[in-house]
Structure 1
C-alpha cells in the first residue's frame, strides 16, 4: 500500500518494513477462514461466540488491515509534509487510484460476466453503491454476497477523502487530538447507533434491524484512526515510541490489548475493536524496532509475505469462489475455492497490477 514508513529511531527512511506484509497476510487469512465457514465449528457457547470469536473473525482481520492502513497512509503524508513543506494531494490520489482502482474494476467486470452467465445474482443498486464506495451504508435487504465485502473498501475510501485534507490543515498537535477524537466518536457510535430507532409503516425499527451500522464510517473507522494516531505520535514523540517499542513490555502490552475481548466486562465489549487496534499498533512499533528479531523473521516467511503483498487482490477476488456471510463456502469446498481465487489473485498481481503500479513512480 505504497511506501512504508521509516523505522522508529533509525534516523533514516526505509522503503520496506520487514514483517509488515506478514501482518497483512494474517489479516486476510482471518477473512478467508470466516468466509470458508471455519468459525462455524467453534462451540456454540457464550465464551466462544462472545469472547473468543472476536479474536479470529473476519471483521477482526479487516480491523487489523485498517490499523495498518491508517498508520501507513498517515506516516507517508506527514513525512512528505515534513520533507517538502506541503502534501501533493493530486499525487497522493493518483497513487491511490493506481493501487486500488484497476483491481477493483477487474473484480466488477468478472462479477458482471458471471452474472450474465447466471453464476451470480447482483442487484443493480448494490453494484452502484459498491462502485461509488458507499456499500457500508447498504440496508440488509439489498445485501449481496459477492459485493458485501466492499463495505471495507468504502470505509477506506471515505478515510482517504477526509484525512489527507485534515493533515494539510491542522498542526500535528491538533492532528493527534483529531485522531483521538475520531476514535472516541467511533466508540460512541458503536454504543449509540445500534439502538437508535425510527418508525416505518406503523412499526418501530432500530438502525441495527435495518443496516449494518458497525460498517458505517463511524464506528468502522475507529481502527484506522488508532493507526493514524500512532503514526502522528511516532512523528511527534519518536524517542517515547522507541522506548516503548524496545521495552520488555511491548509484546505483553500488545497481546494484552489484542486479547481484551477475553477479559473485558460485558459492558465494555463494544469498544474492544479499538483496544485490539491499539494492540496491533504497538506490535507494529515493536516489529519496526526489531527488524532482525525472531517474530519479524517469522512474518517474513516468503509465502506469508507474498500473501500479504497480494492481499488486496485476494480480498477482492475470493468472493467469486466463496461468496460471503451466511452464503459462504463450506470447509468441504475450500480446496477448490482457494485454488481458484488464489490463482486469480496471483495472475492479477503479476500480469495486471504490477505494470500499472510502475506508473506510481510518476507521482512520487
Structure 2
C-alpha cells in the first residue's frame, strides 16, 4: 500500500453535498409530484450516511490522542455536544405542543432506538409522523460502536479495511437478497443493513489516509459524467443492485468533493456556492425540523387559508386546489431553513465552541472536518 498521510482539512464541497442530500429529503417529504419519478428520500439519507462514514472515520484516523480511552472520550464528547442539544430540544418542544408521535414514541426517541421502534410499533400517531428520525438513530448507534473498531485498528489499516469491506458486503447482501430473514423487517431502518453506506464512506477515508486514490481515474471528466448519469438513471429505475450502485456513486462523489473537485464546472460551482454551503452546514437542523414544520403549519395555518379560498371562481386554475404542494413546498422549505438558521446561530454554534474547549483533538486539522 502507498505511504500513509494525514487527512485533509475542511472541504466546503462536502457541505455542498450535504445540501444536495437534504434537498433530496425535502423533495421527497414536501415536494409532492416532484418526488414521484425519483428515489429522492432514500438517496438523500444514503448520501448522508456515506458522508458520515467518511468524515467520522477520517477524524478517528487523524486523531493523535495517545490512549484508546482518551481518543474515544474525545470523540463521544464532541458527538454529544454536536447532536444531543438540538435533538432533545426538538423532542421537548414537540412534547410541549402534544405532537402525537413524540408523546407515544418518546422512549424510543429518547434512547436513539427509534429505527427499531418505528417498525415494531408501526408508527403510532401517523397523523403527525416522525418516521424520518430513524436515520438519526442509525447514525448514533454507528457513532457508539464504530470508534471502538477504528481506534483499536488505526495503526493496522490492512486489518481495518478488510473488516470494513466484510461489513459492507454483508450489509448490502442483507439489503438486496434478504440473507437473514429475521432482520428483513428492519432492512430499511436497521443498522446492520444500513452499514453498507456508512462502511463505504469509511473505506473511502481509509483510502485517503493511505493516499491510495488513483488520481487519473478521479480527474477523468468522462468518468465523472458517467457516474452522474448512472446515478440519475439509478434513481429512476428499480433493479436488484440499485442500492449498491447508489452507494458507490455516493462514495465517488464524496471522494471527489474531499480530494479532487469536479471537472464539470456547473457541478463544482453549485457545490461551492456560499448559499449551498450554508444550507449544508445547517442541514442537521433542517432535517430535524422539516416534517414537524410542515405538519404544524398545515394544521394551524395553511389549511385554514387554503380551504377558505373560493376555488369555484378560479376557473380552469381551480385544479391547483388539489396540488397544494406547489405552494407548500417552497413555503415550508423556507420556514424550515429559517428555523434551522436560528437554531444553528443560537443553539448549535455555542455547542461547537465547547467541543474545542472541552474535547480538543491533538491534531488541529482533525477538528476542521467534524460533522
Match of 1:190 in 2: 175
Match for residue 65 of structure 1? 48
Question: What is the TM-score when the length of structure 1 is the normalising length?
Answer: 0.79
Q: In 2, distance between residues paired with 1:179 and 1:12? A: 20
Gaps of 5+ in 1: 1-8, 43-47, 198-206
Q: Are residues 1:153 and 2:125 paired?
A: no
1:288 aligns with 2:271: no
Q: Tell me how far apart the structure 2 counterparts of residues 113 and 262 of structure 1 sit (CA, whole Å).
A: 38
Aligned partner (choices 48, 52, 58) of residue 75 of structure 1: 58
Report the Cα offset of residue 292 of structure 1. 8.5
Distance 1:129 1:291 in 2: 40
Residues 1:359 and 2:354 aligned together: yes
Distance 1:319 1:312, change over 3 A: same
Q: Are the equivalent residues in 2 in contact too, given 1:74–1:228 (CA < 8 A)? A: yes
Partner residue, 2:191: 217
- 8 Å CA contact 1:107–1:316 kept in 2: the answer is yes
Question: Offset at 1:85?
Answer: 7.5
Equivalent in the alignment of 1:272:
242
Query: Which of 159, 172, 179 does residue 174 from structure 1 map onto?
Result: 159
The one of 120, 123, 129 aligned to 1:142: 123
Q: Alignment RMSD, CA only?
A: 3.1
In structure 2, the gaps of 5 or more residues are 300-323, 361-371
Structure 1: distance between partners of 2:14 and 2:56: 14
C-alpha displacement of 1:123: 5.8
C-alpha distance in structure 2 between counterparts of 1:37 and 1:142, whole Å: 22
Alpha-carbon distance in 1 for matches of 2:343, 2:145: 30
1:142 CA displacement: 3.0
Name the TM-score, length of structure 2 as normaliser: 0.77
Which 4+ runs in 1 deviate beyond 6 A? 9-12
Residues 304 and 240 from structure 1, CA distance in 2 versus in 1: closer, same or farther, beyond 3 angstroms? closer
Q: Which has the higher contact order (CA 8 A, sep 6+)?
A: 2
Q: Give the Cα separation in 2 of the matches to 1:247 and 1:60.
A: 24
Q: 2:366 aligns to what?
A: none
Q: Judging changes above 3 Å, is the alpha-carbon distance between structure 1 residues 195 and 322 closer, same or farther for their aligned structure 2 residues?
A: farther
CA distance in 1, matches of 2:280, 2:71: 28
Larger radius of gyration: 2
